[in-house]
Amino acid sequence: MTASTTVPPRRRRRKWGLAALVLLLVIAVAGGVWQRGKAADPMANLRFATVEKGDLEKTVTAVGSLKAKDYVDVGTQVSGRVLNIHVEIGDKVAKGELIAEIDPTVYASTVAKDRANLDNLKAQLAQRGAELALADQQAARNGRLAEGNAVSQDVVQQAEASARVAAAAVNSVKAQIKAAEATLEGDLANLNFTKIYAPMDGTVVVQDTRKGQTVNSVQSVAVIAQVANLDVMTVWAQVAEADVTNIRPDMPAYFTTLGAPERRWEGKVRQVQPTPTTTNDVVLYNVLVDVDNHERALLPAMTVQAFFVLAAAHDAVVVPLGALKPDPDARGFRGGPDGAPGKGAGGERRKRDRSGAKPGEAPNVGPAAAPAEGKTEGAPPALAEAAPETAAAEPGEPARSGDRPARRGKPYRVQVKTANGVEWRHVRVGLATRTDAEVLSGLEVGEEIVVGEKGALPAAGSARAAPRMPGGAGPRL
Protein backbone atom coordinates (compact mmCIF):
# COMPACT_ATOMS: atom_id res chain seq x y z
CA MET A 1 0.00 0.00 0.00
CA THR A 2 1.53 3.32 -0.98
CA ALA A 3 0.93 6.71 0.74
CA SER A 4 -0.07 9.53 -1.48
CA THR A 5 0.44 13.26 -0.68
CA THR A 6 -1.78 15.99 -1.97
CA VAL A 7 -0.33 19.41 -2.72
CA PRO A 8 -2.68 22.26 -1.56
CA PRO A 9 -4.18 24.02 -4.43
CA ARG A 10 -2.97 27.51 -5.28
CA ARG A 11 -6.35 28.91 -4.49
CA ARG A 12 -6.08 27.77 -0.84
CA ARG A 13 -2.65 29.37 -0.49
CA ARG A 14 -4.01 32.67 -1.75
CA LYS A 15 -6.86 32.51 0.76
CA TRP A 16 -4.44 32.09 3.72
CA GLY A 17 -2.24 34.90 2.49
CA LEU A 18 -5.18 37.25 2.20
CA ALA A 19 -6.28 36.44 5.78
CA ALA A 20 -2.80 37.20 7.10
CA LEU A 21 -2.69 40.49 5.25
CA VAL A 22 -6.06 41.54 6.70
CA LEU A 23 -4.86 40.67 10.21
CA LEU A 24 -1.74 42.80 9.82
CA LEU A 25 -3.83 45.73 8.58
CA VAL A 26 -6.14 45.45 11.62
CA ILE A 27 -3.16 45.45 13.99
CA ALA A 28 -1.61 48.45 12.27
CA VAL A 29 -4.85 50.43 12.39
CA ALA A 30 -5.38 49.60 16.10
CA GLY A 31 -1.80 50.64 16.93
CA GLY A 32 -2.25 53.92 15.11
CA VAL A 33 -5.49 54.65 16.92
CA TRP A 34 -3.85 53.86 20.29
CA GLN A 35 -0.86 56.09 19.55
CA ARG A 36 -3.13 58.97 18.51
CA GLY A 37 -5.22 58.56 21.66
CA LYS A 38 -2.09 58.51 23.76
CA ALA A 39 -0.74 61.63 22.11
CA ALA A 40 -4.09 63.37 22.50
CA ASP A 41 -4.27 62.59 26.27
CA PRO A 42 -0.77 62.26 27.79
CA MET A 43 -2.28 61.67 31.26
CA ALA A 44 -4.05 58.51 30.15
CA ASN A 45 -0.85 56.53 30.60
CA LEU A 46 -0.04 57.87 34.08
CA ARG A 47 -0.89 56.45 37.47
CA PHE A 48 -2.10 58.87 40.14
CA ALA A 49 -2.43 58.86 43.91
CA THR A 50 -4.41 61.20 46.11
CA VAL A 51 -2.68 63.32 48.75
CA GLU A 52 -3.97 62.22 52.14
CA LYS A 53 -3.59 62.96 55.83
CA GLY A 54 -2.15 60.33 58.08
CA ASP A 55 0.35 59.40 60.75
CA LEU A 56 3.93 58.37 60.04
CA GLU A 57 6.40 56.67 62.33
CA LYS A 58 10.07 55.95 61.89
CA THR A 59 10.89 53.03 64.13
CA VAL A 60 13.46 50.40 65.01
CA THR A 61 11.98 46.93 65.44
CA ALA A 62 13.21 44.10 67.60
CA VAL A 63 12.02 40.79 68.97
CA GLY A 64 12.07 40.12 72.68
CA SER A 65 10.33 38.48 75.61
CA LEU A 66 8.52 39.53 78.74
CA LYS A 67 9.76 39.23 82.30
CA ALA A 68 8.44 40.53 85.59
CA LYS A 69 10.25 43.70 86.59
CA ASP A 70 10.51 42.60 90.24
CA TYR A 71 10.93 38.94 91.11
CA VAL A 72 12.79 36.81 93.66
CA ASP A 73 14.07 33.26 93.42
CA VAL A 74 13.12 31.91 96.85
CA GLY A 75 15.75 29.40 97.90
CA THR A 76 16.83 27.52 100.99
CA GLN A 77 19.93 28.22 103.07
CA VAL A 78 19.96 24.78 104.65
CA SER A 79 20.07 21.27 103.26
CA GLY A 80 17.62 18.50 103.96
CA ARG A 81 14.41 16.85 102.92
CA VAL A 82 11.49 19.02 101.89
CA LEU A 83 8.83 18.35 104.50
CA ASN A 84 5.98 20.47 103.08
CA ILE A 85 5.28 22.93 100.25
CA HIS A 86 2.36 25.23 100.89
CA VAL A 87 2.04 26.99 97.50
CA GLU A 88 1.51 26.13 93.85
CA ILE A 89 2.18 27.95 90.60
CA GLY A 90 -0.25 30.82 90.20
CA ASP A 91 -0.90 31.31 93.92
CA LYS A 92 -0.75 34.86 95.23
CA VAL A 93 1.36 35.22 98.36
CA ALA A 94 1.95 38.04 100.84
CA LYS A 95 5.27 39.03 102.31
CA GLY A 96 6.06 36.76 105.29
CA GLU A 97 3.70 33.97 104.24
CA LEU A 98 4.99 30.42 104.78
CA ILE A 99 5.97 28.79 101.48
CA ALA A 100 7.79 25.56 102.40
CA GLU A 101 9.36 23.61 105.27
CA ILE A 102 12.60 21.62 105.47
CA ASP A 103 12.88 18.69 107.91
CA PRO A 104 14.14 20.39 111.12
CA THR A 105 15.15 17.26 113.07
CA VAL A 106 18.93 17.59 112.62
CA TYR A 107 18.92 21.34 113.27
CA ALA A 108 16.69 21.03 116.34
CA SER A 109 19.05 18.46 117.86
CA THR A 110 22.03 20.72 117.20
CA VAL A 111 20.28 23.58 118.99
CA ALA A 112 19.53 21.31 121.97
CA LYS A 113 23.21 20.30 122.14
CA ASP A 114 24.29 23.95 122.00
CA ARG A 115 21.97 24.84 124.86
CA ALA A 116 23.26 21.97 126.99
CA ASN A 117 26.84 23.06 126.34
CA LEU A 118 25.93 26.60 127.30
CA ASP A 119 24.39 25.40 130.55
CA ASN A 120 27.58 23.43 131.31
CA LEU A 121 29.73 26.51 130.77
CA LYS A 122 27.52 28.59 133.01
CA ALA A 123 27.96 25.96 135.75
CA GLN A 124 31.74 26.08 135.23
CA LEU A 125 31.56 29.86 135.52
CA ALA A 126 29.88 29.53 138.91
CA GLN A 127 32.59 27.09 140.05
CA ARG A 128 35.40 29.34 138.83
CA GLY A 129 33.74 32.27 140.54
CA ALA A 130 33.72 30.47 143.87
CA GLU A 131 37.38 29.50 143.48
CA LEU A 132 38.22 33.11 142.71
CA ALA A 133 36.44 34.34 145.84
CA LEU A 134 38.36 31.81 147.98
CA ALA A 135 41.66 32.78 146.43
CA ASP A 136 40.98 36.45 147.05
CA GLN A 137 40.16 35.74 150.72
CA GLN A 138 43.34 33.69 151.20
CA ALA A 139 45.48 36.34 149.56
CA ALA A 140 43.98 39.04 151.81
CA ARG A 141 44.49 36.99 155.00
CA ASN A 142 48.10 36.15 154.16
CA GLY A 143 48.72 39.81 153.47
CA ARG A 144 47.54 40.75 156.99
CA LEU A 145 49.61 37.97 158.55
CA ALA A 146 52.68 39.09 156.65
CA GLU A 147 52.38 42.52 158.26
CA GLY A 148 53.00 40.86 161.66
CA ASN A 149 55.68 38.59 160.23
CA ALA A 150 53.42 35.61 160.91
CA VAL A 151 53.93 34.16 157.42
CA SER A 152 56.74 34.41 154.93
CA GLN A 153 56.67 36.62 151.91
CA ASP A 154 56.72 33.50 149.71
CA VAL A 155 53.34 32.38 151.08
CA VAL A 156 51.91 35.81 150.36
CA GLN A 157 53.11 35.72 146.75
CA GLN A 158 51.69 32.23 146.20
CA ALA A 159 48.29 33.35 147.49
CA GLU A 160 48.26 36.38 145.23
CA ALA A 161 49.22 34.22 142.20
CA SER A 162 46.44 31.75 143.01
CA ALA A 163 43.95 34.64 143.06
CA ARG A 164 45.11 35.86 139.66
CA VAL A 165 44.87 32.32 138.19
CA ALA A 166 41.34 31.97 139.51
CA ALA A 167 40.37 35.33 137.91
CA ALA A 168 41.83 34.22 134.58
CA ALA A 169 39.87 30.99 134.78
CA VAL A 170 36.67 32.98 135.29
CA ASN A 171 37.42 35.15 132.24
CA SER A 172 38.17 32.03 130.18
CA VAL A 173 34.83 30.47 131.03
CA LYS A 174 33.06 33.76 130.22
CA ALA A 175 34.71 33.75 126.76
CA GLN A 176 33.62 30.15 126.20
CA ILE A 177 30.09 31.13 127.14
CA LYS A 178 30.13 33.92 124.51
CA ALA A 179 31.35 31.44 121.88
CA ALA A 180 28.68 28.96 122.86
CA GLU A 181 26.00 31.64 122.66
CA ALA A 182 27.18 32.60 119.16
CA THR A 183 27.09 28.96 118.09
CA LEU A 184 23.62 28.59 119.53
CA GLU A 185 22.48 31.74 117.70
CA GLY A 186 23.79 30.39 114.36
CA ASP A 187 22.19 27.01 114.88
CA LEU A 188 18.93 28.67 115.87
CA ALA A 189 19.08 30.65 112.62
CA ASN A 190 19.57 27.43 110.64
CA LEU A 191 16.62 25.94 112.48
CA ASN A 192 14.53 28.96 111.51
CA PHE A 193 15.74 28.63 107.91
CA THR A 194 13.92 25.31 107.72
CA LYS A 195 10.76 27.42 107.41
CA ILE A 196 10.81 29.38 104.13
CA TYR A 197 8.73 32.56 103.89
CA ALA A 198 7.77 34.80 100.97
CA PRO A 199 10.17 37.78 100.77
CA MET A 200 7.67 40.00 98.89
CA ASP A 201 4.08 40.29 97.75
CA GLY A 202 3.52 38.62 94.41
CA THR A 203 2.54 35.56 92.44
CA VAL A 204 4.27 32.18 92.37
CA VAL A 205 5.43 31.78 88.76
CA VAL A 206 7.96 28.94 89.18
CA GLN A 207 7.79 25.98 91.56
CA ASP A 208 10.05 23.10 90.58
CA THR A 209 10.79 21.52 93.99
CA ARG A 210 8.51 18.75 95.18
CA LYS A 211 7.52 17.49 98.61
CA GLY A 212 9.93 14.79 99.84
CA GLN A 213 12.75 15.99 97.59
CA THR A 214 16.18 16.42 99.20
CA VAL A 215 17.84 19.77 98.57
CA ASN A 216 21.54 20.53 99.01
CA SER A 217 22.37 24.16 99.66
CA VAL A 218 26.11 23.51 99.88
CA GLN A 219 26.80 22.48 96.30
CA SER A 220 24.17 24.66 94.59
CA VAL A 221 21.48 27.20 95.36
CA ALA A 222 18.31 25.23 95.97
CA VAL A 223 15.40 27.28 94.54
CA ILE A 224 12.04 26.32 96.01
CA ALA A 225 9.89 28.80 94.07
CA GLN A 226 9.99 32.11 92.22
CA VAL A 227 7.73 34.92 93.39
CA ALA A 228 7.14 37.78 90.95
CA ASN A 229 5.21 41.04 91.00
CA LEU A 230 3.20 40.92 87.78
CA ASP A 231 1.82 44.44 88.11
CA VAL A 232 4.75 45.79 86.07
CA MET A 233 6.33 43.78 83.24
CA THR A 234 9.59 44.44 81.42
CA VAL A 235 10.25 43.81 77.74
CA TRP A 236 13.73 42.46 77.11
CA ALA A 237 14.19 43.34 73.44
CA GLN A 238 17.30 42.33 71.54
CA VAL A 239 18.37 45.17 69.26
CA ALA A 240 21.03 44.82 66.58
CA GLU A 241 24.24 46.79 66.99
CA ALA A 242 23.44 48.82 63.85
CA ASP A 243 20.27 50.22 65.47
CA VAL A 244 21.07 50.36 69.18
CA THR A 245 22.96 53.66 68.88
CA ASN A 246 19.68 55.36 67.90
CA ILE A 247 17.90 54.28 71.10
CA ARG A 248 18.01 56.39 74.25
CA PRO A 249 16.44 56.08 77.74
CA ASP A 250 12.92 57.53 78.01
CA MET A 251 12.36 57.06 74.27
CA PRO A 252 8.73 56.09 73.53
CA ALA A 253 8.18 52.50 72.52
CA TYR A 254 5.36 50.03 72.06
CA PHE A 255 5.04 46.32 71.42
CA THR A 256 2.60 43.63 70.36
CA THR A 257 2.27 40.00 71.36
CA LEU A 258 1.65 36.92 69.26
CA GLY A 259 -1.68 36.32 70.97
CA ALA A 260 -2.99 39.87 70.49
CA PRO A 261 -1.22 41.44 67.49
CA GLU A 262 -3.94 44.08 67.13
CA ARG A 263 -3.29 45.58 70.58
CA ARG A 264 -0.40 47.90 71.36
CA TRP A 265 1.16 48.26 74.79
CA GLU A 266 2.85 51.60 75.34
CA GLY A 267 5.95 52.24 77.41
CA LYS A 268 9.30 54.02 77.58
CA VAL A 269 12.84 52.75 77.37
CA ARG A 270 14.23 52.25 80.87
CA GLN A 271 17.72 51.04 80.05
CA VAL A 272 20.02 50.10 77.20
CA GLN A 273 22.29 47.44 78.67
CA PRO A 274 25.92 47.85 77.56
CA THR A 275 26.75 44.15 77.71
CA PRO A 276 26.14 42.47 74.33
CA THR A 277 25.11 38.94 73.50
CA THR A 278 26.29 37.20 70.34
CA THR A 279 23.99 34.81 68.48
CA ASN A 280 25.16 33.26 65.20
CA ASP A 281 27.84 35.98 64.89
CA VAL A 282 25.16 38.68 65.31
CA VAL A 283 25.82 41.17 68.12
CA LEU A 284 22.65 42.11 70.02
CA TYR A 285 21.99 44.43 72.96
CA ASN A 286 19.19 44.15 75.50
CA VAL A 287 16.86 47.16 75.68
CA LEU A 288 14.43 47.21 78.60
CA VAL A 289 10.94 48.72 78.41
CA ASP A 290 8.56 48.75 81.41
CA VAL A 291 4.78 48.51 80.97
CA ASP A 292 1.84 48.48 83.37
CA ASN A 293 0.12 45.10 83.71
CA HIS A 294 -2.59 45.55 86.31
CA GLU A 295 -5.01 43.83 83.90
CA ARG A 296 -2.81 40.71 84.03
CA ALA A 297 -3.02 40.42 80.24
CA LEU A 298 0.75 39.94 79.98
CA LEU A 299 2.53 36.86 81.30
CA PRO A 300 6.22 36.00 81.76
CA ALA A 301 8.12 34.57 78.77
CA MET A 302 5.65 35.89 76.18
CA THR A 303 7.26 36.66 72.81
CA VAL A 304 6.80 40.26 71.70
CA GLN A 305 7.70 42.46 68.76
CA ALA A 306 8.91 45.82 70.00
CA PHE A 307 8.94 49.12 68.12
CA PHE A 308 11.14 52.01 69.25
CA VAL A 309 9.84 55.31 67.89
CA LEU A 310 12.73 57.37 66.49
CA ALA A 311 10.45 60.04 64.98
CA ALA A 312 6.76 60.53 64.34
CA ALA A 313 4.47 62.87 62.42
CA HIS A 314 0.79 62.95 63.38
CA ASP A 315 -2.00 64.23 61.17
CA ALA A 316 0.55 65.00 58.46
CA VAL A 317 0.14 65.47 54.71
CA VAL A 318 1.29 62.11 53.33
CA VAL A 319 2.31 61.10 49.80
CA PRO A 320 3.80 57.90 48.37
CA LEU A 321 7.57 57.93 48.47
CA GLY A 322 7.81 57.03 44.77
CA ALA A 323 6.08 60.27 43.76
CA LEU A 324 9.01 62.41 44.95
CA LYS A 325 11.68 63.40 42.45
CA PRO A 326 14.94 65.24 43.13
CA ASP A 327 14.66 69.00 42.65
CA PRO A 328 17.32 70.19 40.15
CA ASP A 329 16.87 73.76 41.40
CA ALA A 330 17.19 72.85 45.10
CA ARG A 331 19.85 75.49 45.85
CA GLY A 332 17.73 78.29 44.44
CA PHE A 333 14.47 77.09 45.93
CA ARG A 334 12.89 79.49 48.40
CA GLY A 335 9.40 78.11 48.25
CA GLY A 336 6.65 79.11 50.61
CA PRO A 337 3.59 77.19 51.66
CA ASP A 338 2.20 77.37 48.15
CA GLY A 339 5.26 75.56 46.79
CA ALA A 340 6.16 78.35 44.30
CA PRO A 341 9.89 78.41 43.48
CA GLY A 342 11.84 81.50 44.52
CA LYS A 343 14.45 83.46 42.64
CA GLY A 344 17.46 82.09 44.45
CA ALA A 345 20.95 81.63 43.09
CA GLY A 346 20.77 79.92 39.72
CA GLY A 347 16.99 80.17 39.58
CA GLU A 348 16.98 82.19 36.34
CA ARG A 349 20.21 80.76 34.96
CA ARG A 350 18.86 77.21 34.77
CA LYS A 351 18.49 76.39 31.10
CA ARG A 352 16.64 73.13 31.37
CA ASP A 353 15.17 71.03 34.11
CA ARG A 354 15.33 67.25 34.15
CA SER A 355 12.15 66.98 32.10
CA GLY A 356 13.86 68.80 29.20
CA ALA A 357 11.68 71.95 29.41
CA LYS A 358 13.17 75.42 29.10
CA PRO A 359 12.36 78.10 31.66
CA GLY A 360 8.78 79.22 31.22
CA GLU A 361 7.81 76.10 29.26
CA ALA A 362 5.56 73.32 30.48
CA PRO A 363 7.52 70.23 31.53
CA ASN A 364 7.38 67.07 29.53
CA VAL A 365 4.95 64.59 31.07
CA GLY A 366 5.22 61.95 28.39
CA PRO A 367 6.94 58.60 28.55
CA ALA A 368 10.39 60.23 28.55
CA ALA A 369 9.75 61.55 32.05
CA ALA A 370 8.69 58.17 33.40
CA PRO A 371 10.99 55.30 34.34
CA ALA A 372 11.77 52.61 31.82
CA GLU A 373 9.17 49.91 31.53
CA GLY A 374 9.86 46.88 33.66
CA LYS A 375 11.94 48.78 36.25
CA THR A 376 10.85 49.79 39.71
CA GLU A 377 10.82 53.46 40.55
CA GLY A 378 13.16 53.82 43.50
CA ALA A 379 13.06 56.35 46.27
CA PRO A 380 14.86 59.63 45.58
CA PRO A 381 18.56 59.14 46.43
CA ALA A 382 18.76 62.23 48.61
CA LEU A 383 15.78 61.02 50.61
CA ALA A 384 17.76 58.04 51.77
CA GLU A 385 21.03 59.89 52.38
CA ALA A 386 20.43 63.42 53.55
CA ALA A 387 19.29 64.49 57.01
CA PRO A 388 16.24 66.73 57.39
CA GLU A 389 16.65 70.40 57.95
CA THR A 390 14.55 70.40 61.08
CA ALA A 391 14.68 72.06 64.42
CA ALA A 392 16.46 70.03 67.08
CA ALA A 393 14.15 67.85 69.17
CA GLU A 394 14.60 66.75 72.71
CA PRO A 395 16.37 63.37 73.07
CA GLY A 396 13.88 60.54 72.96
CA GLU A 397 11.04 62.78 71.76
CA PRO A 398 9.68 62.03 68.27
CA ALA A 399 9.11 64.78 65.78
CA ARG A 400 5.48 65.93 65.60
CA SER A 401 3.40 67.67 63.05
CA GLY A 402 3.07 70.60 65.43
CA ASP A 403 6.75 71.31 64.91
CA ARG A 404 6.29 72.10 61.21
CA PRO A 405 6.71 75.90 61.45
CA ALA A 406 10.29 75.32 62.61
CA ARG A 407 11.01 72.61 60.02
CA ARG A 408 12.17 73.41 56.52
CA GLY A 409 12.54 69.85 55.30
CA LYS A 410 14.33 68.80 52.10
CA PRO A 411 13.36 70.17 48.68
CA TYR A 412 11.79 67.83 46.11
CA ARG A 413 9.24 68.13 43.37
CA VAL A 414 6.21 66.17 42.29
CA GLN A 415 3.92 66.09 39.28
CA VAL A 416 0.45 67.36 40.17
CA LYS A 417 -2.71 66.81 38.14
CA THR A 418 -4.46 70.10 37.33
CA ALA A 419 -7.25 71.26 35.05
CA ASN A 420 -4.66 72.15 32.40
CA GLY A 421 -2.79 68.86 32.61
CA VAL A 422 0.17 67.81 34.71
CA GLU A 423 2.60 70.33 36.16
CA TRP A 424 5.67 70.16 38.34
CA ARG A 425 5.33 71.39 41.90
CA HIS A 426 8.08 72.14 44.44
CA VAL A 427 7.55 70.56 47.86
CA ARG A 428 9.33 70.32 51.19
CA VAL A 429 9.61 66.85 52.69
CA GLY A 430 10.00 66.02 56.37
CA LEU A 431 9.76 62.53 57.83
CA ALA A 432 9.90 59.51 55.50
CA THR A 433 9.34 55.80 55.98
CA ARG A 434 9.87 52.96 53.55
CA THR A 435 6.64 53.69 51.72
CA ASP A 436 5.45 57.22 52.47
CA ALA A 437 6.75 60.71 53.15
CA GLU A 438 5.49 63.73 55.07
CA VAL A 439 5.05 66.88 52.95
CA LEU A 440 5.61 70.06 54.95
CA SER A 441 4.60 72.48 52.19
CA GLY A 442 3.65 72.57 48.52
CA LEU A 443 0.66 70.20 48.44
CA GLU A 444 -2.89 70.17 49.72
CA VAL A 445 -4.98 67.22 50.83
CA GLY A 446 -7.09 65.88 47.97
CA GLU A 447 -4.73 66.81 45.13
CA GLU A 448 -3.69 64.07 42.75
CA ILE A 449 -0.03 63.42 42.03
CA VAL A 450 1.78 61.19 39.55
CA VAL A 451 3.31 58.04 41.02
CA GLY A 452 4.37 56.32 37.80
CA GLU A 453 3.36 55.14 34.38
CA LYS A 454 0.82 52.45 33.64
CA GLY A 455 2.47 49.21 32.70
CA ALA A 456 5.58 49.93 34.76
CA LEU A 457 6.27 48.25 38.07
CA PRO A 458 4.85 50.21 41.04
CA ALA A 459 7.32 52.57 42.61
CA ALA A 460 8.46 52.16 46.19
CA GLY A 461 5.74 53.60 48.34
CA SER A 462 3.27 54.16 45.47
CA ALA A 463 1.01 51.24 46.36
CA ARG A 464 -1.43 53.15 48.52
CA ALA A 465 -3.76 50.18 48.81
CA ALA A 466 -1.17 48.29 50.87
CA PRO A 467 -1.39 48.98 54.61
CA ARG A 468 1.38 50.96 56.25
CA MET A 469 2.93 48.73 58.86
CA PRO A 470 4.63 50.34 61.83
CA GLY A 471 8.29 49.54 62.06
CA GLY A 472 11.28 49.45 59.84
CA ALA A 473 13.99 52.03 59.78
CA GLY A 474 12.95 53.39 56.38
CA PRO A 475 14.92 55.86 54.32
CA ARG A 476 16.82 58.46 56.23
CA LEU A 477 15.56 61.97 55.85
- For 171-209, write each residue's pLDDT tens digit: 999 999 999 999 999 999 999 999 999 999 999 999 988
What confidence score (pLDDT) does residue 18 get?
Answer: 74
What confidence score (pLDDT) does residue 146 get?
Answer: 80
Tell me which of 412 and 152 has the higher pLDDT.
412
What confidence score (pLDDT) does residue 208 get?
Answer: 86
Q: Could you give the CA distance from residue 118 to residue 115 in angstroms, rounded to a whole number?
A: 5
Residue 186's φ and ψ, nearest 5 degrees, are -65, -40
Radius of gyration of the chain (CA): 45
Q: What is the mean pLDDT of residues 84-98?
A: 94
pTM, to two decimals = 0.63
What confidence score (pLDDT) does residue 273 get?
Answer: 95
What are the CA-CA distances from residue 333 to residues 166, 285, 329, 336, 344 (Å)? Answer: 107, 43, 6, 9, 6
What confidence score (pLDDT) does residue 459 get?
Answer: 52
Tell me which of 152 and 178 has the higher pLDDT.
178
Angle, CA 471 vertex, CA 465 and CA 474 arms, to 5°: 80
Give kind and range of the element (H or E) at residue 316.
strand 303-320
- Weakest-pLDDT range from 40-54, 253-267, 359-373, 435-449: 359-373
Q: What is the mean pLDDT of residues 360-370?
A: 39
Q: Could you give the CA distance from residue 372 to residue 254 in angstroms, rounded to a whole number?
A: 41
Of 57, 22, 39, the residue nearest 433 (C-alpha): 57
Other residues' Cβ atoms within 10 Å of the Cβ of residue 319: 30
Backbone φ/ψ region at 281: left (φ over 0), alpha (ψ -120 to 50), beta: left
Reported for 84-88, long-range contacts at CB under 8 A and 24+ positions apart, including other chains, are 84/211, 85/207, 85/209, 85/210, 85/211, 85/224, 85/225, 87/204, 87/207, 87/225, 88/204, 88/207
Q: What is the mean pLDDT of residues 9-16?
A: 66
Q: What is the mean pLDDT of residues 365-373?
A: 37
Q: Could you give the CA distance from residue 22 to residue 14 in angstroms, rounded to a whole number?
A: 12
Q: Per-residue pLDDT for 150 more than 90?
A: no
Longest Cα separation, the chain: 177
Q: Which amino acid is at 298?
A: L
Determine contact, residues 427/443, Cβ cutoff 8 Å.
Answer: yes
Tell me which of 359 and 164 has the higher pLDDT.
164
Tens-digit pLDDT profile for residues 232-275: 999 999 999 999 999 999 999 999 999 899 999 999 999 999 99
Q: Could you give the CA distance from residue 460 to residue 449 in angstroms, rounded to a whole number?
A: 15
What confidence score (pLDDT) does residue 83 get?
Answer: 93
What confidence score (pLDDT) does residue 382 get?
Answer: 44
- The 3-class secondary structure across 162-203, one letter per residue, is HHHHHHHHHHHHHHHHHHHHHHHHHHHHHHHHCEEECCCCEE
| Beta-bridge partner residues of 209 | none
What confidence score (pLDDT) does residue 47 get?
Answer: 87
Q: How confident is the model at residue 155 (pLDDT cuts 50, 70, 90)?
A: confident
Burial 212-221 (b: 16+ CB within 10 A, else e): eeebeeeeee
Question: What percentage of residues in the chain have a pLDDT greater than 70?
Answer: 73
Q: Per-residue pLDDT for 84 more than 60?
A: yes
Listed in sequence order, the residues at least 6 apart from 460 whose beta carbon sits closer than 8 Å to its beta carbon are 321, 322, 376, 377, 378, 379, 434, 435
Q: Could you give the CA distance from residue 263 to residue 255 in angstroms, rounded to a whole number?
A: 8
